[in-house]
Amino acid sequence: MSATEPMLKVEDLHAYYGKSHVLQGVDLEIMPGEVVALLGRNGVGRSTTAKAIMGEVAPQGRVTFKGQPISGMESHQIARLGLGYVPENRDIFPMMTVRENLILGIKNMRATGRWNIDDMLDMFPNLKTRADTLAGVLSGGEKQMLTICRTLMGDPDLVIIDEPTEGLAPKIVHQVGDLIATIAKAGVAILLVEQKLSIALRIADKVYVMGHGNIVYSGTPKEFLERDDVRREWLEV
């Protein structure tokens, strides 16, 4: 795949929950190594966009990853192509240790990826001190870090991270932001679904804003900060 071609391209993406038409023609693209923030109020379709890309919600439209159409593929097939997904529900295995959860993220035991378990534990000392603790007793912030780190163990080229700072204390929010920035520096592209402008604008190269099931604005963080009208209409409560 050429560095001038999008790693992920979404064209005219529609999705439904029953008769409810949630996504109504979403278009977005992410270049290799780019960090893209997807902003918007709750209920506009940001998480559904992530799920439709990953095949967890039936997509209508065209989704291309590294030049290959992935619309209609199973989630596990999409993941094996190098597209990682960190869902908003912090889906860890509570009766397994932190270390065992990380091992489960490895897709190919024979291949050497960008990170190993020691790298993950070094990135977040709280996890390192609790490496052999059952994951179910971790705090919300620790579970979020573990979910992100487990996804990285699969050595993805692009990671979709859905609402990583929801419900976390400010100190942990900053640590999550630092971890995402570290991922980006390693050359991994990121689609960050987030409500907190502070973390999104700190690390994003490009910003998309969702309205009612579609994209209503796109631009750089600098351009976005100059658009008070967009923030008032589509983000402020």
Digit-coded pLDDT (tens) for 75-98: 999 999 999 999 888 788 999 999
DSSP 182-237: HHHHTT-EEEEE-S-HHHHHHH-SEEEEE-SSSEEEEE-HHHHHT-HHHHHHHT--
> The whole model's pTM is what?
0.91
Domain edges within the chain: 8-234
Structure tokens of 201?
């604008």
Is the CB of residue 199 less than 8 Å from the CB of residue 230? no
Domain 8-234 has CATH 3.40.50.1820: no
Q: Which residues of 68-103 are buried (b: 16+ CB within 10 A; e: fewer)?
A: eebbebeeeebbeebbbbbbbebebeeeebbbebbe
Tens digits of residue pLDDT in 110-158: 656 677 888 888 877 888 899 999 999 998 888 888 998 899 888 899 9
| Cα separation, 65 vs 80, whole angstroms | 12
